[in-house]
Amino acid sequence: MRLKLVPQNTSFDFFSRWKLWLGISGLMMVIAFTSFLLQGLNFGIDFRGGTTIRTQSAVEIDVGTYRDAIAPLGLGDVTITEIFDPTFGPDENVAMIRIQAQADAEAVEAATITAVEEALKTVIPDIQFVSVESVGPKVSGELIQTAIIAVALAIGAVLVYIWLRFEWQFALGAVAALVHDVILTIGIFSELQIRFDLAIIAALLTIVGYSLNDTVVVFDRVRENLRKYKKKDLKEVLNISINETLSRTVMTSVTTLLALISLYVLGGDVIRGFVFAMIWGVIVGTYSSVFVASTILLWLGVKRDWSKPSNNAGNQFANVDA
Amino acid sequence: MLQIDTWKRVLIWLVCVIGLLMALPNAFYTRVELSNDAKAAIELGADTPENQAEAALWPNWLPSSLVNLGLDLRGGAHLLAEVKVEDVYEARMEAMWPEIRDALRDERSTVGTIRRQDAAPGEIRVRISQPEGMPRALEVVRGLARQVQTLTGVGATDIEARADGDTIIVQLSEAEKLASDDRTVRQALEIVRRRIDEVGTREPTIQRQGSDRILIQVPGIGSAGELKDIIGTTAQLTFNPVINRGTDPDAVAGIGQEVVPSIDENGIFYIIESAPVVTGEELVDAQPSFDQNGRPAVSFRFNTSGARKFGDYTRDNIGAPFAIVLDDEVISAPVIQSHIPGGSGIITGNFTVEESTNLAILLRAGALPAELVFLEERTIGPELGQDSIDAGKVATIVAFVAVLAFMALSYGLFGLFANVALIINVGLLFGLLSLIGATLTLPGIAGIVLTVGMAVDANVLIFERIREELKSAKGPARAIELGYEKALSAIVDANVTTFITAVILFAMGSGPVRGFAITLGLGILTSVFTAIFVTRLLVVIWFERRRPKTIEV
């Protein structure tokens, strides 16, 4: 007996409530953006500069003790969080200490790190510093810049590729879906205040890649069906195409999610934020390729006759909903 | 209908077998690593029985390249250093001063007396008492300039001289600054490399980043602090004439002079001339040794030009003290007893044996041409790395099994074909990673897991397509053929776009992110290969044997 997540022949109407879906997406984007404006992202040291020290000790962690030990050093904003993870053994008590970048230092401050380590050692003799990372403000500023450029470049490159392979309407639809995914991902990071570091940028770009992958498969089918059903209107063709690829869309999302969830649960806390971003991205990306990309395509309309060169090439309004 | 040429079949299997063979060493990581290390040691002459035994752990005829483990998996230290290239300008101009002074003195009749003025670092200002001699003075100073080799222009010289009233301002030209920056960074890179090699850690990564940065990654080292100690900050050795010796740290130093403390006599300060007689750069050798009283010392030897300068200076200044200065501290300031013509000498001070050995190493490795400022430092403990590897392994295996089971349940026999392809895919991915000596990082493991999840996508596309084609009641062979044919454009477009993002990540990212981009990008290549060629071959072989009238996908 075969496992079938999606029945053989489906004929859902994905556009009967297209305004509602676009509305929901729009609202979510507004919420994400507001959250981003109000709370901002919980930037990791990669982007903000400063030092993080990961400690491990057999002694139960009391954040107060840590705080009291470090407080006399007068380092400004110090965040101490205890980290729990199912993969830790009984005597693995892990804490993460984050120290803000000290005023106007361009380089990292080795002295600060040593001072904190010494202070903690006197309180908790068996403490180990399993990782110490320190980024100077100069580099962190550049990292933000590079990250923004990378995401923008990726989206731009994709826009061009899809434009070349399809039509500009497809490219706009795909890119709208990408922007949607990126904004929602940034939004959830700001809403839940999950640490946003360099790896999350990698996750963002992967989401861009994945969401696109999904969108392109649907669009590829749309292109094919546009040639096949010359008389049907665009909405119908889009519906047929999405239904035909639905089984594949769900299958791929499920296999990818299976893999990601196992990594989320078992992969340790170091990459959990990264994997979370990707899980979220796969869900949002799957949704957006159907409800955002295709809806926008419907809205923009496409050239229907693929065999003849268009008289109206270059006139973007000539073919709307032909 | 369903046909694949024999040569193509052979080629596909060959690629798979070679890929899997390349991946094989990674399954026995520690063993191969021990064996590789031992072989390297034997090569270097340490042909001990233990090394022989360890080398024999892995046969020679098998591939032995491994995927490098990134710092986040192996543990170690990472430093990003910026070379303060401007430091060199100042030293260069200081070194020019005696030459400029002598050249202008020879023209005393036209330019009058000369007097050096205070100036910004990297600049020399000289006032002449007869301003009307300025054209001649400029001509003389410009005559000291040397040609610079640049990519853009010919005729660029290394120094620029201009007049400002009765003052001549001399500084390095832009072309020379660029050339000097490049030289400085290269030199710093080389010296960092030599110092790290002296300690003998395995597989350090030392590379230039951007115009003036150096990235240093050393696996297995205890902390970034330790690494910084090895690199040192400057270790600049110079021999300078001593003007005065006193106890006042705020003593007024004349122009072209400076006050430096003594390294082991507390409260003693020397006023020295900033322009050194000889610098550590002209040393050819330095060895730990002992002085005539049996105290630890460092003996050194200069190259020819250093020896000549040192010889001339000692001949002309018998009875005067000169200072041996290391990183702006006076190690010792002996009085010149006699002319030292041979260019070799001995540095004495209150050294322990260890200190003299370290100093000798530092001197031998050469001084860093400029100061290093550390912009980023990371230490990852080996335990954390091991934890990450363990967690990553478990997660990958679970992800793998889940996807395999899911595919088999969904597509039956075809699912099994896809699974065989998936296993080959991961094998090929590891093979490729080892082949190009890529570095596996923690996000890289995530990339592999993601590849496992996404690799089936191409197969899913094909299988779904075959299902559809079967509905339109064509024969199974035709349906399979059409399925592969029609799914191809979607597969190509979908994977090219993902590949584009992987390339951008690789180009823009650094460290762990780059590791992720590599596994993601290579994963796309191998998964497209296995989906299009390997599963197809499997399906065709099965179809030829069975010739089924109907198929169920």
Residue of A nearest to B224 (CA): A132
pLDDT score, position B273: 86
pLDDT score, position B103: 85
* Count of C-beta atoms within a 10 Å radius of residue B252: 8
pLDDT band at B154 (very low <50, low <70, confident <90, very high): low
pLDDT score, position B104: 86
Structure tokens at A287: 């949704």
Query: Average pLDDT in the A29-52 region?
Result: 89
Count residue pairs from A and B with Cβ separation < 8 A. 239
Query: Average pLDDT in the A120-142 region?
Result: 86
> Please, are residues B519 and B428 in contact by the beta-carbon 8 Å criterion?
no
Question: Residues 6 or more apart from B384 whose CB is under 8 A from it?
Answer: A54, A130, A131, A270, B75
Instruction: Map tokens 């009291």 to a residue.
Output: A68
Query: Average pLDDT in the B521-527 region?
Result: 91
Q: Is B386 on the interface with A (CB under 8 A)?
A: no
Q: What is the nearest CA distance from A133 to chain B, expressed in angstroms? A: 4
* Count of C-beta atoms within a 10 Å radius of residue B115: 13
DSSP 8-state assignment for residue A93: E
Query: Average pLDDT in the B296-321 region?
Result: 84
Q: What residue type is assigned to position B507 of the chain?
A: A
Choice among A166-180, A216-230, B332-346 with the minimum mean pLDDT: B332-346
C-alpha closest to that of B470 among B553, B545, B539: B553
Set of chain B residues whose Cβ sits within 8 Å of the Cβ of A251: 410, 456, 460, 464
Choice among A218-232, B151-165, B514-528 with the minimum mean pLDDT: B151-165
> Please, are residues B170 and B100 in contact by the beta-carbon 8 Å criterion?
yes
pLDDT score, position B362: 66
Q: Do A149 and B508 touch (CB under 8 A)?
A: yes
ipTM score of complex: 0.82
Query: Average pLDDT in the B473-477 region?
Result: 78
Instruction: Tell whether the torsion through CA atoms of B454, B455, B456 and B458 is positive or negative.
Output: positive
pLDDT score, position A321: 43
Query: Average pLDDT in the B525-541 region?
Result: 90
C-alpha closest to that of B239 among B199, B192, B279, B181: B279
The whole-angstrom separation of Cα B254 and Cα B222 is: 45
pTM (2 d.p.) = 0.76
Percent of chain B residues past pLDDT 70, beyond the cut: 95
Q: Do B384 and A201 touch (CB under 8 A)?
A: no
pLDDT band at B161 (very low <50, low <70, confident <90, very high): confident
Structure tokens at B51: 């090394």
Q: What is the 3-state secondary structure (H, E, C) of B469-493?
A: HHHCCCCHHHHHHHHHHHHHHHHHH
In chain B, which among 245-304 make CB contacts under 8 A with chain A?
A: none
Q: Which residues pair with B290 in a beta bridge?
A: B296
pLDDT score, position A62: 86
**Looking at per-residue confidence, does B149 or A36 come out higher?**
A36
User: Among A136, A216, A260, whose Cβ lies nearest the Cβ of B494?
Assistant: A216
Residue of A nearest to B394 (CA): A266
Q: Number of H helices and number of E strands within chain A?
A: 10, 6
Q: What is the nearest CA distance from A320 to chain B, expressed in angstroms? A: 25
pLDDT band at B17 (very low <50, low <70, confident <90, very high): very high
pLDDT score, position A313: 43
Set of chain A residues whose Cβ sits within 8 Å of the Cβ of B454: 210, 213, 252, 255-256
pLDDT digits (tens, 9 = 90+) for B31-78: 888 888 888 888 877 778 888 888 888 888 888 888 888 888 888 899
pLDDT band at B91 (very low <50, low <70, confident <90, very high): confident
The whole-angstrom separation of Cα B441 and Cα A207 is: 19
Residue of A nearest to B372 (CA): A107
Set of chain A residues whose Cβ sits within 8 Å of the Cβ of B211: none
Residue of B nearest to A220 (CA): B490
End-to-end CA distance of chain A: give it in Å, rounded. 44
pLDDT score, position A319: 44
Q: Report the residue of A53, A98, A241, A248 to disrupt the B interface, i.e. the one with the largest count of B CBs within 10 Å.
A: A248
pLDDT score, position B322: 83
Whole-number Cα distances in Å, B154 to B149, B157, B160, B473: 7, 9, 15, 76
Q: What residue type is assigned to position B176 of the chain?
A: E
User: What does the mean pLDDT of chain B come to?
Assistant: 83
Q: What is the nearest CA distance from A121 to chain B, expressed in angstroms? A: 16
Q: What is the nearest CA distance from B465 to chain A, expressed in angstroms? A: 9
pLDDT score, position B473: 65
DSSP 8-state assignment for residue B88: H
pLDDT digits (tens, 9 = 90+) for B246-284: 887 777 777 778 888 887 777 788 888 888 888 877 877
pLDDT score, position B431: 92
pLDDT score, position B151: 58
pLDDT band at B439 (very low <50, low <70, confident <90, very high): confident
Query: Average pLDDT in the B3-21 region?
Result: 89
User: Among B399, B412, B510, whose Cβ lies nearest the Cβ of A2?
Assistant: B412
Residue B507 has pLDDT above 60, yes or no: yes
Q: Is B130 helix (H, G, I), strand (E, B) or coil?
A: coil
Structure tokens at A2: 């075969």
Q: Is B171 helix (H, G, I), strand (E, B) or coil?
A: strand
pLDDT band at A185 (very low <50, low <70, confident <90, very high): very high
Residue of B nearest to A154 (CA): B501
Query: Average pLDDT in the B166-191 region?
Result: 85
pLDDT score, position A104: 61
User: Among B446, B456, B511, whose Cβ lies nearest the Cβ of A271?
Assistant: B446
pLDDT score, position A314: 44
Q: Is B348 helix (H, G, I), strand (E, B) or coil?
A: strand
Q: What is the 3-state secondary structure (H, E, C) of B424-437?
A: HHHHHHHHHHHHCC
Query: Average pLDDT in the A209-213 region?
Result: 83
Set of chain A residues whose Cβ sits within 8 Å of the Cβ of B464: 245, 247-248, 251
Query: Average pLDDT in the A236-247 region?
Result: 90
Q: What is the nearest CA distance from B480 to chain A, expressed in angstroms? A: 17
Report residue A219 CA to chain centroid gap: 22
Q: What is the nearest CA distance from A186 to chain B, expressed in angstroms? A: 18
